[in-house]
Amino acid sequence: MLTIRNLTKRYPRPGRAWWSDETITAVDDLSFDLPAGTSIALWGVNGAGKTTVLKCLLGLLASEGELHLNGYDLRRDGRTARRFLGYVPQELAFHNDLSVAESCRFYARLKEVGDERIPVVLAQVGLTDQEKKAVGALSGGMKQRLALALALLAEPPVLLLDEPTSNLDAATRDEFIDLLVQLRNGGKTLLFTSHYADEVGRLAERVLILRDGRLVADGAPAEVLQRRPTADRGRQVLPGPQTTDGGRQMLPGPQTTDGGRQVRTDHPSSLAPAVGGPSSAVSGPSSAVGGLSPAVAFSAEEPLR
């Protein structure tokens, strides 16, 4: 379905002299295949090159290498090839004064799609009862669903999603992931960026870890995320009996529970001031605070965003 060979993206180095040809490499000789009906996650810290890969596929950035989608060259036959792509950006931009239905009609015309698709996609994403509401009055979760509906209007077989749940709360995240799982199980091909381990585990059949634009690991989520370097781990909540929300919520620091606060860290001294309190104690990687079993694990060195 999608073939990427030696994808490379370079930018002029900021602050370089006008005569200099110095560059920085955002994506460095990346190659992988995305077969039809599969789901791949791109994982990495800020600046790893994840979003740049998606923008190159969308034709928003010029790049080097070979990009083929469904037999079409994405450079030579870009207009035709990109009809097979649906895109959900990380930062959404809507006409807030339009209703949900009006927004769908606007984008349907841009995509040369008949209005009969609108009730279909709104039902797919659970927005049928919101079609008359102004977009500006929607919650963050509803706006994310609308973005997905717009991406589905032309019935693309491939969806590109850039941090699709990064701006959602825990409950809304779970609902949106469930929606994406349904689409994947229905035959959609997914390529998405993420920094949530649970999201990758539920959605992806394969995860590619990028660092400084280079592919450093490739495999099944359980295997790759377990052996990834500490600097690529970021913040991750592991399942445990004392965590809230089933251990699926990403947390930046100590988690408060009925019995106190619990933290697991590779650098206890750096987190002691944040925990505080006369009954708190922080020690090594398996330490428990307040008598609770450890459930929260993260690296304090280089958190993912």
Domain boundary among 213, 232, 251: 232
The Cα–Cα gap between 92 and 147 comes to 7
In a domain, 119, yes or no: yes
pLDDT at 171 over 90: no
Higher pLDDT: 67 or 14? It is 67
pLDDT at 290 over 50: no
The mean predicted confidence, pLDDT, of the chain is 79
Label residue 14 exposed, middle or buried (CB < 10 Å: 0-12, 13-18, 19+).
exposed
**How big is the CA angle at 279 (ends 274 and 283), to the nearest 5 degrees?**
60
Cα-atom radius of gyration of the chain, to the nearest Å?
A: 21
The Cα–Cα gap between 129 and 173 comes to 20
- pLDDT score of 232: 52
* 250 and 166 together in one domain: no
> How many distinct structural domains can be found in the chain?
2
* 183 and 76 together in one domain: yes
Least confident of 109-113, 179-183, 254-258, 284-288: 284-288
* 163 and 294 together in one domain: no
In a domain, 145, yes or no: yes
* 148 and 34 together in one domain: yes
* 255 and 226 together in one domain: no
In a domain, 303, yes or no: no
* 123 and 260 together in one domain: no
Domain boundary among 232, 254, 270: 232
- pLDDT score of 10: 94
Whether this model's pTM surpasses 0.85: no
Q: pLDDT confidence of 69, banded at 50, 70, 90?
A: very high
170 contacts 245 by C-beta, under 8 angstroms: yes
Higher pLDDT: 226 or 284? It is 226
**How big is the CA angle at 237 (ends 236 and 240), to the nearest 5 degrees?**
150
* 29 and 55 together in one domain: yes
In a domain, 179, yes or no: yes
Residue-wise pLDDT for 31-56, tens only, equals 999 999 999 999 988 889 999 999 99
* 64 and 201 together in one domain: yes
Domain boundary among 232, 266, 290: 232
We report the CATH number of the domain holding residue 71 as 3.40.50.300
Residue-wise pLDDT for 124-144, tens only, equals 999 999 999 999 999 999 999
Domain of 264, in residue numbers:
235-298
pLDDT at 277 over 50: no
The mean per-residue pLDDT over the stretch 172-199 comes to 93
- pLDDT score of 36: 94
In a domain, 304, yes or no: no
* 77 and 153 together in one domain: yes
- pLDDT score of 230: 53
- pLDDT score of 237: 37
pLDDT at 267 over 50: no
* 113 and 194 together in one domain: yes
* 16 and 87 together in one domain: yes
- pLDDT score of 236: 43
In a domain, 294, yes or no: yes
- pLDDT score of 239: 37
- pLDDT score of 21: 86
The mean per-residue pLDDT over the stretch 228-251 comes to 42
* 121 and 159 together in one domain: yes
